[in-house]
């Protein structure tokens, strides 16, 4: 049995407050509602992936217009073959949404969905468990040579199901915490627990522990927009106050930074891709020290879509009411730069 499903962060619509005598003098609030699904098409599981026992997932970021039609669709994260990208995009193109609304009026707005492609797998295979445990022991004992060999064995063993892929990257996050750098560790944690379906594969205690580590790494690497999202994920679980309290302190510092006039810099690298993405945190930004070619800037905001040709002499400012915004840069592979937020 195979299944291809979509899921996304669409919060339940809250019930409207009941009117009481105490409310008669209250100031009327501006009400904004995000897009949400009306009819969501199920993607077709690619036959080549079925034949080769391959699983995967795809995150799509996109805009929803005032008629509920998705557009400006882009793959921002994925696991597995690119055939899953096409299947997910085709399904999204057939889906319809209730558009975002502000004070009752529809408007274009950014949204995202995850599409998961899973076979009828019930967990990790015995050989994977054996090698995974040996790799974790090698990491714990500081035996890098043995850990390298075991992780390479897992990487080169053929297609892993999503359960195995998650635990492989749990192991890699431990490896990079010992012998790598913060960016490598964060990338492994994103792959292991950076999407909602991971919570059904990883035990809750391990899942929340890895999310705490991910939150702190996102703060250290100045990925503040995603750090806030990770913190919100953690608050959905019952955690001891001594665990949450220091994270709340950090969140308070982030909120202060968001609203003040301090600037910070984030290094950017297209690597082997034509796009680079980032969750903007403040309402002004510019790109400095560009080595290579950046052609376009796309902003998928909560209440706006903006397309710009890149001009190295400009500083860009976003209206605060449009935030949050997902920034996508389009350019040449190998391009490097600094993103300055202020």
pLDDT in tens, 180-212: 999 999 999 999 998 877 888 889 999 999 999
User: d(Cα 39, Cα 260) in Å, to the nearest integer?
Assistant: 41
Question: Who contacts 130 (Cβ-Cβ below 8 Å, separation ≥6)?
Answer: none
pLDDT for position 14: 35
Read off the tokens for 107.
């408007």
How confident is residue 20, by pLDDT bands cut at 50, 70 and 90?
Answer: very low
Against a cut of 0.85, is the pTM above it?
no
Read off the tokens for 52.
């080769």
pLDDT for position 320: 80
The mean of the pLDDT values for the chain is: 88
For residue 156, pLDDT over 60 is answered with yes
Instruction: Tell me, rounded to whole angstroms, the distance of Cα 100 from its chain centroid.
Output: 21
For residue 29, pLDDT over 70 is answered with no
Instruction: Tell me, rounded to whole angstroms, the distance of Cα 182 from its chain centroid.
Output: 17
Helix segments in the chain, DSSP class H: 47-51, 83-93, 126-141, 144-155, 162-179, 182-193, 204-220, 224-234, 241-259
């Amino acid at each position: 049995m195979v299944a291809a499903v979509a899921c996304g962060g669409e919060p339940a619509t809250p019930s409207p407050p009941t009117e009481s005598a105490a409310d008669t003098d209250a100031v009327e609030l501006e009400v904004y509602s995000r897009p949400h699904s009306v009819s969501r098409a199920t993607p077709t599981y690619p036959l080549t992936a079925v034949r080769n026992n391959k699983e995967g997932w795809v995150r799509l970021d996109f805009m929803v217009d005032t008629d509920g039609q998705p557009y400006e669709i882009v793959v921002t994260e994925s696991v597995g073959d690119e055939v899953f990208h096409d299947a997910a995009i085709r399904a999204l193109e057939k889906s319809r949404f209730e558009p975002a609304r502000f004070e009752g009026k529809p408007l274009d707005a950014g949204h995202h969905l995850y599409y998961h492609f899973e076979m009828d797998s019930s967990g990790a295979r015995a050989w994977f468990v054996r090698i995974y445990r040996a790799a974790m022991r090698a990491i714990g004992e500081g035996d890098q040579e043995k850990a390298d060999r075991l992780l390479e064995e897992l990487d080169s063993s053929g297609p892993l199901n999503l359960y195995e892929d998650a635990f492989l990257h749990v192991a890699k996050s431990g490896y990079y915490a010992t012998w790598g750098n913060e960016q490598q560790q964060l990338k492994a944690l994103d792959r292991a627990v950076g999407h909602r379906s991971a919570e059904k594969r990883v035990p809750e205690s391990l899942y929340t522990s890895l999310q705490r580590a991910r939150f702190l790494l996102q703060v250290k690497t100045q990925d503040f927009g995603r750090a806030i999202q990770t913190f919100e994920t953690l608050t959905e679980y019952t955690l001891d106050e001594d665990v949450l309290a220091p994270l709340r302190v950090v969140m308070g510092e982030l909120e202060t930074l968001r609203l003040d006039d301090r600037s910070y810099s984030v290094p950017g690298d297209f690597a082997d891709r034509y796009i680079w993405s980032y969750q903007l945190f403040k309402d002004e930004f510019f790109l400095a020290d560009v080595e290579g070619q950046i052609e376009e800037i796309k902003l998928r905001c909560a209440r706006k879509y903006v397309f710009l040709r890149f001009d190295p002499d400009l500083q860009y400012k976003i209206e605060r009411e449009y935030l949050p915004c997902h920034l996508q840069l389009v350019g040449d592979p190998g391009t490097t730069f600094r993103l300055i937020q202020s």
